[in-house]
Chains A and B, each alone.
Chain A
Amino acid sequence: MPRKTMVEAIRDAMDVSMQRDENVVVFGEDVGYFGGVFRCTQGLQQKFGSNRCFDAPISEGGIVGAAVGMAAYGLKPCVEIQFADYMYPAYDQIVSEAARLRYRSNGQFTAPMVIRMPTGGGIFGGQTHSQSPEALFTHVSGLKTVVPSNPYDAKGLLIAAIEDPDPVIFLEPKRLYNGPFDGHHDKPVTPWSRHPQGEVPDGHYTVPLGKAAIRREGSAVTVLAYGTMVFVAEAAAEETGVDAEIIDLRTLLPYDLEAIVASVQKTGRCVVVHEATLTSGFGAELSALVQQNCFYHLEAPIVRVAGWDTPYPHAQEWDYFPGPARVGRALKAVVEA
């Protein structure tokens, strides 16, 4: 089985989708000739021509607004916002337009499109290259939100997202582009070429939206995580010896309630982990769901481990990042409660 980095897997997903469906078009800042600042679209313009993969002016509102118009025409745009932190000028087009077009026109117009954006920190990017804004999307009705944690899923989920009839926000944890980063920033990262989830089949396959995956089976506590935090949670479980069941949500909305409930009913304990700021984060939604659906199975309060409620700092990056030590402390506290 060929091994790919997450960047290569994402590129492959667009390549496969563009080959299968001539309505799939790809554009964004530096996306055309150069192939994107993270190289996710490298070679697509050369292969499919600038009619289908091209550079956009630096205007995120323009990129998403134009994509809405193209989708209304019948194309399937898969656009890139260079960093999730640059998304805000496009927020009106995402929230008021793409998300609601089907509803307000009673299906006369729809916006099947994918908005890809690198998310999360860990690269000393400071406050404008590190944010995790997923809750700003899950809070909006009409959007699907996906966060892959490995190359295999990234390709399958991106193809599924492109084929989906509704707008999908596709958040790519940039710290995972080259390997399964587990929060130990002082140690070298294993490249995807030496990780089983770096195995990416050629050609077309999908990973369905709305389905979680169990990354580690366990009986002591359920960890709900996504993106980079899946590997941080794995490291925390290993280092503390807590027999955690780690669920990789993969799609935040629609979420896989069945998988969440089945696991928490089994373990009776739950830790929710995300890199985004704590307050009103997606973890709050997960905690509420677990409380409502698993209350009589819970043996300890649900604990959230998240980024602090501050902007993402530059120098204090590793004080901010919810690494394995903080997750490990939460695991121990919950199983000992």
Chain B
Amino acid sequence: MPDFGPLSFHVPEPAVRPGGAPDFSDVSIDPAGEVRRPPVDCAPEDIRDLAFKIIRVLNRDSEAVGPWSGLLSDEELREGLRHMMTLRAFDARMLMAQRQGKTSFYMQHMGEEAVSCAFRKALEPGDMNFPTYRQAGLLIAGGYPMREMMNQIYSNELDPLHGRQLPVLYSARDHGFFSVSGNLATQYIQAVGWAMASAMKHDTKIAAAWIGDGSTAESDFHAALVFASTYKAPVVLNIVNNQWAISTFQGIARGGAGTFAARGLGFGIPSLRVDGNDYPAVYAVARWAAERARRNLGPTVVEYVTYRVGAHSTSDDPSAYRPKTESDAWPLGDPVLRLKNHLIRRGAWSEERHKQAEAEILSEVIAVQKEAESHGTLHSGPHPSARDMFEGVFEQMPPHLRRQRQQGGV
């Protein structure tokens, strides 16, 4: 019998815990402009290295550089900034509303605004997102009315989902936004199925799947990759790596793989990593992946490297598991600030215009909020009826549910 000594059990540990100094020295960051931009019809084996790099456009001097830059006009960049600022203001107001007891629960995007806002600009009408709970930027940048979002958050009388669903688990079919589940990863394989259907019907629409770093551990993620690979489905497989899955650092889900994008390599799917806090970079990579899908070249895995600045949800307290100042040390900065500085550098924006825009956006969000609240909040004012609870279980209400509704006296 060979003597290799006893075995030991390995549990990954983050670099630092509360009380320690934040440390991101293990996050290897490529300088902006350095990562090449391959043709969209490249062979997956020719770009394996891109699963381990980070595509970046905005450099430290706030210039847009390299082969992934130059796709957006001043006007488009200003619009992108406005979307991110709107999402941030929306989050701030809704977080406050939750603290005031106007709703039960909220999840914010702080630090991750660029991912969903910029990605949305690469889609066409008819395309379908299968989002998680942290992609409301798809709605804001897609022109979905904030009023509808707030009505849903407040479960009020105008809630498009009739009070049935947890706050922020929106559904907006006409805006390419699939109903968000409260369970994790289920949507990832559904996006692949939707994309397969589009190909089966010789349509031109594509799908976008969304998942967080932690949830890539779920079986549905792996099922999605094998189906997408096998059927070359026209889908963009997005992984938002915000470093934290509630309290567990990304090493728990990633294990020994160098990156989450590398998961795609074993399936023969072209896989890229991008700076998730760099609006032009996110847009450029999203457009590249969407074009591959539209040209029938099949799926692309995209990992967005970002950081969850806020708590996981209003039920979470991150100070129990990571240093309080960790977000200040995050090396990829803040997406709003970076795009703002870039626009100023281009001469297309100024501090004054930014301040003015902030004030305008805030007053717009507050005005919408007032209007939504006039239709009720979770615990006061008009609300969906108890009768509504029995609707929509089936298309036609079966007799047993009708009897239960009568029993309930509603």
Contacts and interface: CB of A to CB of B under 8 A. Distances in A.
B11 A128 contact: no
Listed residue (B159, B163, B248) with the most chain A CB atoms within 10 angstroms of its CB: B248
Contact of B214 (A57, A309, A314): A57
A315 B393 contact: no
A29 B390 contact: no
B169 A58 contact: no
Interface in B157-172: 159, 162-167, 169
Nearest to A315: B163
Contact of A59 (B167, B217, B383, B385): B217
Contacts of A109: none
Contacts of A60: 218
Nearest to A90: B219
A55 B164 contact: no
A314 B155 contact: yes
Interface in B215-250: 215, 217-220, 245-248
A314 B217 contact: no
Interface string A270-288: 0000000011000000000
A160 to B, nearest CB: 28
Contact of A310 (B181, B247, B390): B390
Interface string B306-337: 00000000011000110000000000000000
B4 interface: no
A94 B23 CA distance: 40
A129 B386 CA distance: 20
Given A86-B184, A88-B183, A315-B378, A310 B389 contact: yes
Interface in B381-410: 383-386, 388-390, 393, 400-401, 404-405, 408, 410
B308 to A, nearest CB: 14
A61 B219 contact: yes
Contact of B389 (A55, A57, A61, A319): A319
A292 to B, nearest CB: 23
B383 A315 contact: yes
B247 A30 contact: yes
Contacts of A85: 182-183
Interface residues of B, number: 52
A309 B400 contact: yes
A319 B410 CA distance: 9
A129 B400 contact: no
Interface string A288-313: 00000000000000000000111101
A133 B57 CA distance: 49
A59 B183 contact: no
A57 B393 contact: no
B404 A308 contact: yes
Contacts of B320: 34
B43 to A, nearest CB: 31
B253 interface: yes
A212 B389 CA distance: 34
B177 to A, nearest CB: 18
B93 interface: no
Contacts of A316: 163-164, 384-386, 388-389
B104 interface: yes
A30 B315 CA distance: 14
Contacts of B169: 126
Interface in A47-88: 50-51, 54-62, 85-86, 88
Contacts of A127: 164-166, 182
Contacts of B11: 32, 50-51, 54-55
A165 interface: no
Interface string A128-141: 11000000000000
Contacts of B378: 124, 315
B17 to A, nearest CB: 7
B102 to A, nearest CB: 12
Interface residues of A, number: 39
B252 interface: yes
Given A51-B9, A314-B104, A309 B155 contact: no
A60 B162 CA distance: 30
A181 B248 CA distance: 31
Contact of A58 (B181, B253, B388, B405): B253
A94 B165 CA distance: 28
B105 interface: yes
A30 B166 contact: no
Given A127-B164, A308-B404, A315-B164, A57 B386 contact: no
A58 B104 contact: no
A313 B246 contact: no
A248 B405 CA distance: 28
Interface string A31-46: 0111001000000000
A218 interface: no
Nearest to B248: A55
A34 B169 CA distance: 26
A314 B164 contact: yes
A24 to B, nearest CB: 15
A313 B390 CA distance: 10
Contact of A320 (B17, B167, B217, B389): B389
| Central interface residue in A32, A55, A311, by most chain B CB within 10 Å | A55
19 contacts: A32-B248, A50-B11, A58-B185, A61-B218, A62-B217, A86-B184, A88-B183, A126-B165, A127-B165, A128-B183, A308-B401, A310-B401, A313-B164, A314-B163, A315-B155, A315-B159, A316-B164, A316-B388, A319-B386
Q: Which 8 pairs of residues, A with B, have the shortest CB-CB distance? A: A128-B182, A315-B163, A126-B166, A57-B217, A34-B247, A315-B155, A124-B104, A319-B386
Given A126-B169, A310-B393, A316-B389, 15 more contacts: A30-B248, A33-B17, A50-B13, A57-B248, A57-B252, A58-B185, A58-B214, A58-B217, A124-B105, A127-B182, A308-B408, A314-B165, A315-B164, A315-B378, A319-B389
Interface of B: 9, 11, 13, 17, 104-105, 155, 159, 162-167, 169, 181-185, 214-215, 217-220, 245-248, 252-253, 255, 315-316, 320-321, 378, 383-386, 388-390, 393, 400-401, 404-405, 408, 410
